[in-house]
Chain A
Amino acid sequence: MKGKLVSDVSNLDEIIEEIKSYKIENAVDTVTRKREVTYGSGRAKQVALIDYGTKDNIINSLLKRGVSVAVYPAKTDASMILASRPDGIMLSNGPGDPEDCQEEIENLKKIYKTNIPVFGICLGHQLMALANGFKTGKLKYGHRGANHPVKDMETGNVYITSQNHGYYVLEDSINPEIAEISFVNLNDNTVEGIRYKDKNIFTVQFHPESCPGPEDTAYLFDEFIDLVKGENEIQGKH
């Protein structure tokens, strides 16, 4: 639902027209970094982080685990990222309708084809889904807050997570040949995480980096880093 605060309603039709036609466009472009930046350079393993509007704590969560992080603007061409031979690729959170991000999605199709481990959060999760032909939709209210329970479909365990999203991946659109649902939201059963088959790729809708919010799912970063270091094939939780 859209609205506008006005002090004068004499031109009501105009206002309504303006509200109706209002659309957030190119939201990612307004928040992504303008140029590439590397944090903790010189470390043995390097993660490329595609910045769709990343929270600092995603960068911190990676740095804390001993890798260097090269942050790329959202529309950086995949070939350029791949040319730096990253050990893993992290897809960040970000604003707006994922379907608006066509260029980003095209780049992810290329990344999907490689064997590099990929971990996506929030918008990054949605974009990887779209890159594989799945669909996204809009929730009535969205999931907001630091108290959302998600269920790990493999173990049945439930974790409390931080969430802030209005769009989500449609369950029925997920091609079981390509991927499986790894997490669902316990409140409304919507998709909260996807694991891609025969790939080292997993994405979540919620925020394991939290801040603010519970640290229950911070272990996902450990799993990702294990993959980056080549120490583990993807598997269930610890």
Chain B
Amino acid sequence: MRDSRIKKVLVIGSGPIIIGQAAEFDYAGTQACRELKKEGLEVVLINSNPATIMTDKNMADKIYIEPLTVATVKKVIEEERPDSILPNLGGQTGLNLAMELAESGFLEKYHVRLLGTGVDGIRNAEDRQCFKDMMEKIGEPVVASKVVHTVEDAVAFAEEIGLPVIIRPAYTLGGTGGGIAYTMDDLVEIAGSGIRMSRVSEILVEKCISGWKEIEYEVIRDSAGNCITVCNMENVDPVGIHTGDSIVIAPSQTLSNREYQMLRTSSLKIISSLGIEGGCNVQFALNPNSFEYAVIEVNPRVSRSSALASKATGYPIAKVATKIAIGYRLDEILNEVTGKTYSCFEPVLDYVVVKIPKWPFKKFLTADKTLGTQMKATGEVMAIGPNMEMALMKAIRSLEENVDSLILPVLRDLTKDEIRERLYKKDNERIFVVAEAIRRGISIEEICKITTIDKFFVGVISHLVSIEKELEENNLDQELLLKAKKYGFTDKVISDLTHKTEDKIKELRAEYGIKANFKLVDTCSSEFEAKTPYYYSSYDEENESLRTDRPKIMVLGSGPIRIGQGIEFDYASVHGVWALKKKGYEAIIVNNNPETVSTDFDISDKLYFEPLTPEDVENIVEVEKPDGAIVQFGGQTAIKLTESLDKMGVKIIGTSPRNMDRAEDREEFDKALSKCGILRPQGGTIFTVQEAKEVANRLGYPVLVRPSYVLGGQGMAIAYDDQEIEDYVNEINKVAQEHPILVDKYMMGKELEVDAICDGEDILIPGIMEHLERAGIHSGDSISVYPALHIERRHIETIIDYTEKIAKELQIVGVLNIQFIICQGAVYIIEVNPRSSRTVPYISKVTNLPMIDLATQVMLGKKLKDLGYGIGLYRKSNYVCVKMPIFSFEKIKNADTSLGPEMKSTGEVLGVARKFSDSLLKAFIASGTNVSKSGNILITVRDKDKIEMLPIAQKFYLKGFGIYATSGTAKFLEDNGIHVTKLDKLWEGQNSIIDLIENGKINFVINTPTKGKQANRDGFKIRRMATECKIPCFTSLDTVNALYEAIEDEISEEDLEIVDITEI
């Protein structure tokens, strides 16, 4: 039964999206908030991430978009006086905060109960030594390991147990700072960085068992001690690669009943001994040649794996964990899938699920692509199929990497020996290398030996390769075509292999009567009648997805979380679905991201967990025959499907495909702008380097180079000379471009951004946002301020006027996003995106204007005038809101941290206050920047920035900061009367730059990058060093000015007033 003492609950969110802590906690937090509200409890929420669905006004009674720090959470507790706190659904961030509050006695003082697992249980699971002791006590095997606090102790222990060893820092997420050491030199380096990263300066040195199978169990336990396993999962990549970077399959495929039950029993024993109340994840290493196993790790909370397990089985782990936390027993919680049975059962899968991580390596050309114990993926895709082959093929194409099968063209150019060599390398292309190795005749035995991947998985890949070969060599008869479809080959891949056109394959399928059918995900393999409207495609005979005769609209989702296309687009998709449902439509969602709210089966009327490719979407269209489709909400993933949907005869709801194209197509867009009398930076379209150079020289350097139809500025760069043009254009052309590359005059000015709704006649602008960093830094990486504070009235008028003109000219119906630039007193439009944007969730929240809801109504035919929010520019908020980008640079070794036109941030935080400087300070604190008001700054800037840097250096100098600078910068500052400590050596000696950074003597680094992207320059090394030592490193002087503004007044975090955004 529910614990009647619980009346008001504080939920802690997980903060910004970073590598290792992504959208899965919005999914978990949203489920938690909805469940608590459904139970009639008062919910107070704190989360610094404005892009989330959980921070929506209908999710909680009080919402604080505030820094997730102990000081701020304390203030929220003092203000709201909740009786309990739910810590285990907000990832590691939420858990750590709750632990600090509990351990310091604060919770007790304010009579706040920790719901779910108790403090001891969390400590026993999280603290390395406690965990080890506990496991020894209950007789569960762990890997030989020792907790140490110094590098010397790490070395001593490694000598005792022998190399290689794994380093795991305590209290970090995604294994930050960890790694495998094969030599003593490695060990010294990795142990040093691990100790720095750990909140408690603690690392675990552990015997390396790489090559063992890595198996996970998702377990749930209630306060009465009932426990079940929701599912188990097997990593295709054995121990050694972080599970977040592994290809994962559910359920396990290579375990015997004995192994399965042995690990299951162990999981239940562990969760019981820890006293977990809620969800928990147990990771095992299993010796493939014996029944020996070891417990690797336990997460005493809902995790990325539990999100995956939820979506893989249909069992809503976060919801059930929430109910357990407020007192329910598993046998009291109804299984919503059947509506009759209870949640105290173990789901059965009559299908296979494959997850593949989405890595950001295309963004970071210099980055180390090796996979190890440090997670590098930003997101993931999941696919469901009746066999592993099909699920794997679906997952590969869901990644949107321009690869639709196991054929990776670049590998074709390598020799057999080179391929064999590549098998030793653990990187993001590993699975394709295995496939290529099979094609070249390297034996399965040898591949297994080198990679330590289980023979079963190599066999699956080999099976797919053999089908490729059959397609290439044999006549495409009915039997072969059906076989190819059943194992996941798309028409496009079949057409490439058989040298027939895609249309011909489609024709053949029609002739042979081969079409996709849909199967239900029901948690019980049809044992009970299920109500879940959750489907996946197969080529079996029976179709379980029955079309209703209600009017229905399909919403195309945004796929995996990646830099440039994050959780903001899931926010829009979910709100679109809700708006459609409210208006009486059946809302059908298609998406493939297991971390999101949109793929919860109770969000839409029907959920299709499928790749977002034209063929996969067409299969759904054939069954559902929707009255229309919405592509505006799912980012570029959905936009890319517009043309195909149009061809299938599906009506695009809102802005027409033709008009969307006019916004993207360079010439048409230019025409539209000039028709409206709007200026834009001069530019041209090109395909080749030669053309690019011509255009660039005509415009004059610097110029902005970018491919069309991308999001997040992928491949975008500022070129200063012919050489750079050549480099950048060649880089873009590595992938065949369907559309021309754009070359524009780079204008250094103030950037502004507008999200608006247009109904074809009127527009509504919730607010105008100003970027603190000048043009040239991607809007997603800029600090964005609402309302715009530093803009003249007349420019605001112009922006409104231009927005209205261009929206009407492009006949926008729905949302649009416009980027403006103000340069030398004139307003220019840089681009118009006829879709929802990254800023929509944040601007909706801070202006209290439900953009997506209104846009959806407009798309369904309503007029803005009738919707009650007026037209034109919406009334200005009394609060100033600062959105700040968050980067995950420390996770990706050798990624360049300097900011430019290509977006690099993974997430964002928001600071809300009445005063701009307070909002800024909040945002900096929320971003984890150490906002010291004194200390030392290291300045090293390129020549052309020196003049501009001078007043900044003066400000910090006068405030009492010590200034350190490299020789050129130092001389310039000295000449201008600033006392500087000059540094000339990067590496050597006591006072080398690296030494100062490592020893924490520097509080901030200001480094503006010289042109070029080479990783061997000193500036690059300084930036990396600062990042790895968690010292803020600013590469734009505008950001430094913002920082100064935030710390200028002697205001501390304690002085800042917290703001409940539902009151705005």
Contact = CB atoms under 8 A, between A and B. Distances in A.
Partners in one complex: yes
Interface string B156-180: 0000000000000000000000000
A145 B228 CA distance: 15
B225 interface: yes
B345 interface: yes
Contact of A147 (B257, B329, B330, B346): B346
Interface in B312-349: 329-331, 340-342, 344-348
Given A149-B344, A187-B528, A158 B226 contact: yes
Contacts of A157: 224-226
Contact of A149 (B260, B331, B525, B528): B331
B358 interface: no
Contacts of A214: 261, 264-265, 346
B413 interface: no
B261 A186 contact: no
B268 interface: yes
Which of A144, A157, A158, A160: most chain B CB closer than 10 A?
A158
Contact of A160 (B224, B225, B228, B524): B228
B347 A186 contact: no
A215 interface: yes
Given A187-B341, A215-B265, A160 B346 contact: yes
A209 to B, nearest CB: 12
A151 interface: yes
A148 B226 contact: no
B988 interface: no
A186 B331 contact: yes
Interface string A202-238: 0000000011111110000000000000000000000
A22 interface: no
A144 to B, nearest CB: 8
Given A210-B261, A216-B268, A158 B346 contact: no
A186 B257 contact: no
B866 interface: no
A158 B268 contact: no
B331 A211 contact: no
A160 B345 contact: yes
Contacts of A215: 261, 264-265
B855 to A, nearest CB: 44
Interface string B217-250: 0000000111011000000000000000000000
Contacts of B264: 214-215
A55 B768 CA distance: 73
Given A210-B261, A215-B265, A186 B527 contact: no
Contacts of B260: 212
A156 B228 CA distance: 15
Interface in B507-533: 524-525, 527-528
A145 B344 contact: no
B345 A147 contact: yes
Interface in A139-198: 141, 144-149, 151, 156-158, 160, 186-187
Contacts of B265: 214-215
Interface in B249-268: 257, 260-261, 264-265, 268
A38 B260 CA distance: 31
A212 B228 contact: no
B882 to A, nearest CB: 50
Interface residues of B, number: 26
A186 B345 CA distance: 8
Nearest to B345: A149
Interface string B111-133: 00000000000000000000000
A158 B527 contact: no
B257 A211 contact: yes
A235 to B, nearest CB: 18
A186 B342 contact: yes
B217 to A, nearest CB: 12
A143 to B, nearest CB: 9
B331 A151 contact: yes
A213 B262 CA distance: 10
A88 B229 CA distance: 34
B342 A149 contact: yes
B261 A187 contact: no
A225 B347 CA distance: 32
A10 B100 CA distance: 80
Contacts of B345: 147-149, 160, 186-187
Contacts of B330: 158
B331 A147 contact: no
Given A210-B261, A214-B264, A147 B347 contact: yes
A211 B258 CA distance: 8
Contacts of A144: 527
Interface string A9-50: 000000000000000000000000000000000000000000
Contacts of B268: 216
Contacts of A212: 257, 260-261
A160 B261 CA distance: 12
A210 B264 CA distance: 13
A156 B224 contact: yes
A210 to B, nearest CB: 7
A216 B265 CA distance: 7
Interface string B521-563: 0001101100000000000000000000000000000000000
Contacts of B344: 149, 158, 186
B348 A145 contact: yes
A224 to B, nearest CB: 20
A72 to B, nearest CB: 28
A142 to B, nearest CB: 10
23 contacts: A147-B345, A147-B348, A149-B228, A149-B346, A151-B331, A156-B331, A157-B225, A158-B228, A158-B331, A158-B344, A160-B228, A160-B229, A186-B341, A187-B340, A187-B341, A187-B342, A187-B345, A210-B261, A212-B257, A212-B260, A213-B261, A214-B261, A216-B268
3 nearest A-B residue pairs (beta carbon) = A212-B257, A147-B346, A158-B226
Given A147-B347, A214-B264, A215-B265, 19 more contacts: A144-B527, A146-B346, A147-B345, A149-B342, A149-B345, A156-B329, A158-B330, A158-B331, A158-B344, A160-B229, A186-B342, A186-B344, A186-B345, A187-B340, A211-B261, A213-B257, A214-B261, A214-B346, A215-B261
Interface of A: 141, 144-149, 151, 156-158, 160, 186-187, 210-216
